[in-house]
Amino acid sequence: MNWSRKLADNLAVRIHSANPHHSVSLPVQSYGIETIIISTINTSVALLLGILLEQALEVLTVIIAFPLLRFITGGRHFSSPTVCIATTIIGFNVIPILAQYVHSTVATLILTIGSLLLCIVYAPQGNRAIVKQHQIIKLAGGAIIAVNLLVMSPVLAIAFFLQALTLIQFKKGG
């Protein structure tokens, strides 16, 4: 068991024992607490590092855009919360650095259209919805990405493209 789940389980047991008749089950409560722990660490450390690197606004843009698209479309997960946290913090700060090298609107357009295509083909991933809702999820994810066709932000283009890459499911074996 990983450290974040142990901490979440411990907190959930304490909360649950304070109000044992609450309608939320212990596993659901633990999952919610673990999500809050990881999100808080990711956001706080990534933003602090962004401030130190003098790119706080760009990092904040990524902190909003990447998880918003991920919430709608889903995506692959790391097996370890520690790897997830480290990758997220580094990624959220590397995206603005990479965006400084995207000087052409053509590159931004290509990344944005690539994200749209990946979303249309692969979204949703994970247990996002019943089959009838898949088209709605594709449309919602596509609409979020399409905003960048108006804004033409290299930061958003890279963030959306990286998130869209997490939608691709590779077959195990052969």
| 128 — pLDDT class (breaks 50, 70, 90) | low
Q: Which stretches of 53-153 are DSSP H helices?
A: 56-73, 81-99, 105-122, 134-151
Find out whether 68 and 144 touch, Cβ atoms under 8 Å. yes
Q: List, in order, residues 6 or more apart from 80 with CB less than 8 Å away.
A: 2
Per-residue pLDDT tens digits for 38-70: 899 999 999 999 999 999 999 999 999 999 999
Torsion angle in degrees (nearest 10) through CA of 8, 10, 11, 17: 140
Q: Tell me the C-alpha distance between 124 and 163, whole Å.
A: 12
Amino acid at 124: P
For the cut 60, the answer to whether the pLDDT of residue 105 exceeds it is yes
What are the CA-CA distances from residue 169 to residues 123, 126, 133, 143 (Å)?
10, 10, 19, 22
Q: φ and ψ at 55, to 5 degrees? A: -140, 35
State pTM to two decimals. Answer: 0.87
